[in-house]
Structure 1
Amino acid sequence: MASPRVQRMNTTFNRTSSGSPRLQTLASHKSSSLSRFDRDVFYENAPDAAAAEAASRAAIEEFKNDKIFSKFLVDDFNATQFASEALSSGSAAASSEKLQEGIQLLERQLRSEVFLRHDELLQQLSNLKETESVLTVVRAGVESLQASTQRVRAEIAEPYKHIKSKSKQLASLHDTVELLRTVIRVLKQMKRLQELMESGGSNVDLAKAAQFYNEIEILRKETDLAGVEVVDDEIPWLFEVGSQIKTEAMKGLEKGMESLNQAEVGSFLQVYYNMGELKPTVESLIGKYKGLAIKSVSAALEWKTISASVGSSLGSGAIQRSNASQGAGIPRARESLWQKMGTCMDQLHGIVVVVWHLQRVLAKKRDPITHVGFLDEIMQPGDSMLTERVWEVVVKSFASQMKSAFTASSFVKDTFVVGYPKLLGMVNGLLERLFRETDVKGVPPAIKPEARDQLVAALEPFQTAYLGKSLGRLSELVNSMFPAAVRGSIPSQEQIFRLVSRIHEELDVVKPDVRLTFLVSREIGKILRLLAERAEYQTSTGPESRQVMGPLTPQQLKNITLSLQLQDVHARVTSMLVGLPSATIEVLSPSLTALHGVASDCITPLFKAIIERLENCILQIHEQSFATMDMDGGMGNGCSKYMEDLQKSILHFRSEFLSKLLAGSTPAVTSISGESISAGLTRKLASRVLLFWVRHAAMVRPLSELGKLQLISDMAELELVVGQSLFPVEQLGAPYRAFRAFKPLVFLESSEFASSPVLQELPPTVVLHHLYTRAPVELESPLKRMKLSPQQYSLWLDSQGEEHAWKGIKATLDEYAAKIQARGDKEFSPIYPLMLQLGTSLNWKSS
């Protein structure tokens, strides 16, 4: 494939041979100088086209392969460099000769190309001659057309100038006529306006006058009347009338807004609408009330006005350095500050209500001619309402002034922090009045519901400081009750009373505001948790706090006192929650629960210890025989020995411990919760004693008739001592019913078990355990089968529940049946099918 350089040479040769004027001239010259004979001879000897093309390629190929000629084919050939190299090589003559050969070769190729394309070149020459003749004809037509155009232009120019002149005169005449018409209309309207102003006196129809005035102004703006003397002479009077109309309209508008008279406000707004100045007038009014709002807030918190109002000689710096209790002028200054804040709230209320009234009239008012709504005239879609614009300024100004007062004046800061509920009440009062007084059906209220949060947010620094002081006051009381340096101290009743009173005061002050009540309750919750933590830290947990055999120890007395005090606080604070919002109750509930839990934990170990003691006494029932007629259990005294120990333990617990717990429960505790922690634990203790005795009395085996009488005797003694020393047994509910049902169960005939209603009151295990006493020896009780002590088996029953206990009982029945079958007996004891029947029919529930 030929290189780009060779391709460009071929293209150059072709273009030169076919399109160059110089070649055409050369061909023409040759054609004219050579005879026909010479041409024929030349063409006969000239190579044909294919041979010429081959020769051309061979020549180019020769150039490419030659080390000298090939340099001429590169794109960046440099003639100066080539000459320099030829001279420096020492063979300049040889190079020159070589170049001459190349030139001759190129000339031969060029001549061959020219002669080969001779006819084609002649054809192009003839085409050029034809083109020249056509151009001559066209040139003549163009010249003729130009001449015609010049003649037409000469014929039209004069009429055009004439028409143009007449048109200008007509336009001037038309403008003059329109000017005269406008002047006549202006003068006519001025005359009407003058007659209206002169005839109306003090009762001029301002709306109509404003309409005339506006029409005159529109005509003056649409048409330049400057220089028209008859109009210029009336301009001063016109401006004076316009100013008079605006002044009277503004007076009436302000008067109508102050009195909240919709009719007056609407009529004077119509005046400004007719004048075309409704929007700027409303904007001016809104700007005025924005400024009044800012001025009102600033005046309320300006120290100079407060100091001047009380006539105090103390300066700002002196007041800031003084405590609230120092100086006779401080209380008066504080009272003046509150008065100014009240005045500020009243002024802000008046400003917002007036703007809302204006907005309400604008929303209702329509022009009687165009029926355009006034509010639509002054507002674009998406614009804020007028009251929203003013309220935004009120909030920003109030927030800025409050922030400045908090940081710049310790007097204002202390006054508003201590009296924050009062300050918040003023703000809430303002908001409630605005909501109430602008709540009109079909009309948006003056402020949106979220406006309260916007204004209250400005008081956040004072709110935070107030909550901190509230927490500090309560924390100080708790810290005084439990000094850090004294271990084991307990609060006095007076300290408890002061704490409860302080909590009541904190809640009572903020009760009017739901949100502040919630925040203060959260701080009270922290104090209650702190109180619970401090009390828990003081609680004794050593062996002395759990002993029940001896007299009351100091550690137990301290725990009992702490429990009673915490119960008292819990009950009194709970009583304060009556009527408070649910959110407040929810925020205090965890703290009250924690307080109740610590109060319970103080005495729960004591009750656990007495339960263990009483259970050990009851477990001695298994050490006594109830099978023989001459039992040694104290029949003569009416009760068994274990029962005597049980009675003594209960009486001791009552006298040493329970009497102090129950006597210390305040009326507040029982009136609110209905049952103190001590009473609740005592009720559980009494229920446990009765059920525990029934459980183990049912396990007594063997049991004779006399033994049954002894159990019933012990049962009566137990009921008496529990009812008198622990808890009224009639109020125990299901445990007492089960206890009472055990007596008929003991004397019930085995054949009557299946249909007896007594079984519904007793736990199923008690019924089945009692039936073991009526069964043969081969039917072992679960206690014996599992090789457990009565105490271990009782603990197993507590942990497993009734339903699982039936599985253990069923296992003993199955073993009994296997023994009988293995022995070859055909009959079972009547107790065996009875126990199977009852076991499958009774309502087993996991306990």
Structure 2
Amino acid sequence: MSPVADDAAAPADLLDQQDFRDYSAAGFEPAAHATRLVSGDEVDISEVLGRLSYSIDFLNKRINEQVVRHYGSLLNQVNELNSTEAAMAVIRQRHQALQQSFGRIKSRLTGQYTQIQQCHQQIVRAQALNETLRQVDRFLRLVARLDVDMAAGSSEYAKTALHVFELESILAETDLSGIVAVDRERPLVAAHKDAIETHARKTLGEGLVEQGQAKVAEALQIYSNLGVMPARVKALLDGFVAGIVKEMHRALDMISLNAEMKETQQRTTSGGGVRRVNEPASAVATSNVAVWANILWTRTERLTDAIYADAVKLYLLGKVLARKRDPITHISFLDQVVELLGGDLTTLFWQAVSQNLDKELRLATKASQFLLQVLQAGYPRFMRIFHDLFTRVSLVSGSVFNESEKSSESQMPLKILSSFESAYVSRSLTRLLDTVNAAFPEKPTPGQRMTVSRDDVDKIVRTVSSELDVAKFDGHLLRLAAKNIHKALNMYTVKCEHLTPTDASAYQIGVSITGSQQLSIDILNCVAHLEASVWRLLEDFEGTAADAPLTESLNNMAKLMQNVVEPLFQSFAVEFEAVASKMHREDYASRASSQAARVPTGRSTETSVYFAELSAKLKWVAREILGRLQCDDDTREWAMSFSARVLEIVMRHASMTRPVNEQGKLRIAADMTQLEYLLNQIIGAYDLKLDADMVEAHRTLRAFRHLLFIDLAHIPNTPQLAHLSPVLVIHQILVRAHPVIPLPTQVFGWSETEYSVWLDSHTTAQALDALDKCLGFYVQDVTRRGETQYCIEYPVARSLLTLYLKQYADA
């Protein structure tokens, strides 16, 4: 083992002993170790000391052993240390010599550095002095030039402003205080600057008032040359906003409003004492509320005038700022202002106006409940004042503002005003519904009419017209008003529908009109009057937001009238059909059957017996029902529709009447002629004519009369029959073949009235199928009898029926 390894192993053996671990531990504290050894209750000090002495002796013995064992190595190390000390002594001597050389160099360099530093300071001071002298010279030259330019007058103020700005820049960049020549000129420069700014402020004010772009541009150029243009524009904007806020406060100030109200009362009151106005919500009389509101609206108009005046100035200012540019940087003046303000000039203006308007309205309405109620009740007028403002502003700004499209600057203020919208809309609906409810008596007394009168309808129309007029300037408000009107008109329609009678007496034809029928007519007349009045109002609002809601209400009214009229005339049609079906019990085949009823007018033409009853009922409907209706165009439509229906019923039964000889055909033709005369009398009361206003019905009637007398062989080739229903044509052919070819009444076991009802509920194609079955039934009967020939009517009927079936199948 090497000595080094042996040295490393010996301490390791020593450290492995338990008694020496505490002494070799890191952070060993002798005092603390000694205290721990003697701190026990039964510790023997002598024993502890003996153990320590033994340990010391043991350690000394081990050290001696190590020294003896490594004696040679230790001597070599001592010799090496001696040589190292000699080398270190030489190095130390050389280091000291180096230090002395460094000291000599340092002292020499320090002197030279001091000299250089002093020279540099002299140069810097000389340069500063030279710069100061240059600035003083420049300052004095600019002052001299400034005096010359100022003497030239205001036309040179823009150039003079550049000199002032440069002078101020010199004073700001260089400390020239204490220099007599400079200090002497400073008051003069300040005076010239004040004069220039005064001129610029006056020129800008005149330019904005007069809308003169040249003056505004001149003032802005002066401010730009002075280096204060963005700040001056900002100050101008703040001034506009401050003035508008002041005007807002003045317009909504309750104290001054009440004082002005008192003055108005004193001027208008004649005679005795004057009522004191302390609190409008409780003390102002109802008659004075309108006067108080007019004062508020007048002040609001003055407020909008002030806003408009400032807005016009601001838009002109914006246009000039956008056109002007810095000659050096080529940045527009507007961009410089936007950079300072952090936004567009006009946008910031309208934002400030909107925010302050919102704030003032909140404070004012919170302080006075009466003011809140006036603003809510007069919301359309309040809104219209601002609409007029933005209409005027749009002419200046170039934006679009109308009842349907709003400009960007108007959206925020109008949104603030809309906080009063819901209350106004609610009151508007209440007014409309109250007007409708007032028209209907809750519990009609005996003898009192159950439905509304025309005066009541006129009141409703006036209320509707008023609501539309006050809201027509704004599309959104007009839409809300129209919705309220729609609700009110629908309520009117529903109430009328509930009043409509449905008992049997409402649908019968008697000696005189029944109470239920009169009530139905009254309802129809009032609804028609309301419908016509609203249609006239709607003519002024066609294509607006009110068009759709009001049109829907009018359609509901038309539907109600149709629901009242249709059952009435359908029931009348049933009675007329019952009368027309009586012609099937008359004899149209024998010569002795000419005992016919004479026409009430004294004409010599013979008519059938049933026709007297038919004529009486027609005259009753014309007199008692149609004559009492005052529904204008609707009445004419109903008269024509009812006339066409009666004509259809009579011709249908006449086409099925059998057997008929030539004399019977003449009687049927006389019936048709007299029916035409009666129908012309009915619709003639409405300036209508059968041949002019009911052309198709008149052609059908003439074609049917012609069909009665036309030869069988000519029927397929007669063009007039194109105006007749194919069913009537086939009926006439089958009637001529009576009794060999049966009608559907015989085939299916129906009565003529039942068959007529069946025809009303089925299509023409289905009716032709039923007639085809009749021909088939006839063919089967001929085959059953063993006959080989058909009657002469069968081929004509078959050919026409085949043609009709194909025609309606293709349709």
> TM > 0.5 between the two?
yes
**Is contact 1:193-1:209 (8 Å) kept?**
no
The structure-2 alpha-carbon separation of the partners of 1:142 and 1:380, relative to structure 1 and needing over 3 Å to count, comes to farther
**Deviation string, structure 1 residues 744-792 (Cα, Å, up to 9, x no partner):** 1121122212221022101111111111123364433223222222122
**Which stretch has the larger CA shift, 241-250 or 607-616?**
241-250
Aligned with residue 137 of structure 2, among 181, 188, 208: 188
Q: Report the Cα offset of residue 350 of structure 1.
A: 0.7
Partner of 1:95: none
The structure-2 alpha-carbon separation of the partners of 1:412 and 1:785, relative to structure 1 and needing over 3 Å to count, comes to same
- The whole-number CA distance in structure 2 between the counterparts of 1:705 and 1:834 is 20
Partner of 1:560: 521
Q: Report the Cα offset of residue 419 of structure 1.
A: 4.4
- The whole-number CA distance in structure 2 between the counterparts of 1:558 and 1:194 is 102
The structure-2 alpha-carbon separation of the partners of 1:783 and 1:448, relative to structure 1 and needing over 3 Å to count, comes to closer
SS in 2 for 1:800: coil
- The whole-number CA distance in structure 2 between the counterparts of 1:422 and 1:509 is 7
Partner of 2:62: none
- The whole-number CA distance in structure 1 between the counterparts of 2:198 and 2:105 is 64
Aligned with residue 844 of structure 1, among 798, 808, 811: 808
Aligned with residue 322 of structure 1, among 276, 283, 301: 283
Q: Report the Cα offset of residue 152 of structure 1.
A: 8.3
Partner of 2:389: 430
Q: Report the Cα offset of residue 364 of structure 1.
A: 0.6
Q: Report the Cα offset of residue 576 of structure 1.
A: 1.4
Partner of 1:771: 733
Q: Report the Cα offset of residue 426 of structure 1.
A: 1.9
Give the AA of the match of 1:203: G
Partner of 1:725: 682
Give the AA of the match of 2:136: L
Partner of 1:172: 121
Partner of 1:642: 610
Q: Report the Cα offset of residue 164 of structure 1.
A: 4.0
**Deviation string, structure 1 residues 479-499 (Cα, Å, up to 9, x no partner):** 222122337622233323333
1:203 matched to 2:156: no
**Is contact 1:560-1:603 (8 Å) kept?**
no
Q: Report the Cα offset of residue 267 of structure 1.
A: 1.9
1:700 matched to 2:628: no
**Deviation string, structure 1 residues 538-581 (Cα, Å, up to 9, x no partner):** 22221222221232122221221121111111111211111214
The structure-2 alpha-carbon separation of the partners of 1:309 and 1:25, relative to structure 1 and needing over 3 Å to count, comes to closer
Q: Residues 367-386 of structure 1 correspond to what in structure 2 (within 5 A)? A: 367-380=326-339, 383-386=342-345
Partner of 2:643: 686
Partner of 1:628: 590
- The whole-number CA distance in structure 1 between the counterparts of 2:102 and 2:801 is 135
- The whole-number CA distance in structure 2 between the counterparts of 1:301 and 1:523 is 30
Q: Residues 484-503 of structure 1 correspond to what in structure 2 (within 5 A)? A: 484-486=442-444, 489-503=450-464
Partner of 1:613: 575
Give the AA of the match of 1:272: Y
- The whole-number CA distance in structure 1 between the counterparts of 2:152 and 2:406 is 42
Aligned with residue 347 of structure 2, among 378, 388, 403: 388
The structure-2 alpha-carbon separation of the partners of 1:190 and 1:249, relative to structure 1 and needing over 3 Å to count, comes to farther
The structure-2 alpha-carbon separation of the partners of 1:156 and 1:631, relative to structure 1 and needing over 3 Å to count, comes to farther
Q: Residues 334-413 of structure 1 correspond to what in structure 2 (within 5 A)? A: 334-380=293-339, 383-413=342-372
- The whole-number CA distance in structure 2 between the counterparts of 1:148 and 1:576 is 121
* Identical aligned residues as a percent: 25
The structure-2 alpha-carbon separation of the partners of 1:440 and 1:469, relative to structure 1 and needing over 3 Å to count, comes to closer
- The whole-number CA distance in structure 2 between the counterparts of 1:141 and 1:709 is 168
Give the AA of the match of 1:251: K
The structure-2 alpha-carbon separation of the partners of 1:755 and 1:211, relative to structure 1 and needing over 3 Å to count, comes to same
- The whole-number CA distance in structure 2 between the counterparts of 1:152 and 1:319 is 105
**Which stretch has the larger CA shift, 197-206 or 649-658?**
197-206
**Is contact 1:650-1:726 (8 Å) kept?**
no
Under a length normalisation based on structure 2, what TM-score does the superposition of the two structures give? Answer: 0.79
Q: Residues 138-537 of structure 1 correspond to what in structure 2 (within 5 A)? A: 157=106, 160-161=109-110, 164-165=113-114, 168-169=117-118, 171-199=120-148, 200-201=150-151, 203=153, 205-225=156-176, 231=182, 238-239=189-190, 241-309=192-260, 311=263, 317-326=278-287, 333-380=292-339, 383-413=342-372, 415-417=374-376, 419-439=378-398, 449-486=407-444, 489-537=450-498
**Is contact 2:281-2:370 (8 Å) kept?**
yes
SS in 1 for 2:546: helix
The structure-2 alpha-carbon separation of the partners of 1:153 and 1:483, relative to structure 1 and needing over 3 Å to count, comes to farther
Under a length normalisation based on structure 1, what TM-score does the superposition of the two structures give? Answer: 0.75
Partner of 2:13: none
- The whole-number CA distance in structure 1 between the counterparts of 2:92 and 2:721 is 141
**Deviation string, structure 1 residues 300-331 (Cα, Å, up to 9, x no partner):** 1212333444536866643332355456xx66
Give the AA of the match of 1:497: D
Unmatched tracts of structure 2, length 5 or more: 11-76, 267-273, 600-605
Q: Report the Cα offset of residue 365 of structure 1.
A: 0.8
Partner of 1:571: 532
**Is contact 2:703-2:724 (8 Å) kept?**
yes
Give the AA of the match of 1:527: A
Give the AA of the match of 1:260: Q
- The whole-number CA distance in structure 2 between the counterparts of 1:142 and 1:264 is 91
The structure-2 alpha-carbon separation of the partners of 1:530 and 1:470, relative to structure 1 and needing over 3 Å to count, comes to same
Partner of 2:30: none
Give the AA of the match of 1:377: Q
**Is contact 1:803-1:846 (8 Å) kept?**
no
The structure-2 alpha-carbon separation of the partners of 1:827 and 1:23, relative to structure 1 and needing over 3 Å to count, comes to farther
**Is contact 2:146-2:164 (8 Å) kept?**
no
Give the AA of the match of 2:481: V
Q: Report the Cα offset of residue 335 of structure 1.
A: 4.1
Aligned with residue 716 of structure 2, among 735, 751, 754: 754
Q: Report the Cα offset of residue 636 of structure 1.
A: 7.3
- The whole-number CA distance in structure 1 between the counterparts of 2:444 and 2:761 is 43
- The whole-number CA distance in structure 2 between the counterparts of 1:845 and 1:167 is 124
- The whole-number CA distance in structure 1 between the counterparts of 2:704 and 2:109 is 139
Give the AA of the match of 1:250: R
SS in 2 for 1:631: helix
- The whole-number CA distance in structure 1 between the counterparts of 2:762 and 2:130 is 115
- The whole-number CA distance in structure 1 between the counterparts of 2:728 and 2:88 is 141
SS in 1 for 2:607: coil
Q: Report the Cα offset of residue 717 of structure 1.
A: 2.2
- The whole-number CA distance in structure 2 between the counterparts of 1:183 and 1:365 is 36
**Is contact 1:406-1:462 (8 Å) kept?**
no
- The whole-number CA distance in structure 2 between the counterparts of 1:581 and 1:423 is 25
SS in 2 for 1:548: coil
Give the AA of the match of 1:356: Y
Q: Report the Cα offset of residue 650 of structure 1.
A: 1.4
**Is contact 1:190-1:212 (8 Å) kept?**
no
**Is contact 1:406-1:461 (8 Å) kept?**
no
Partner of 2:25: none
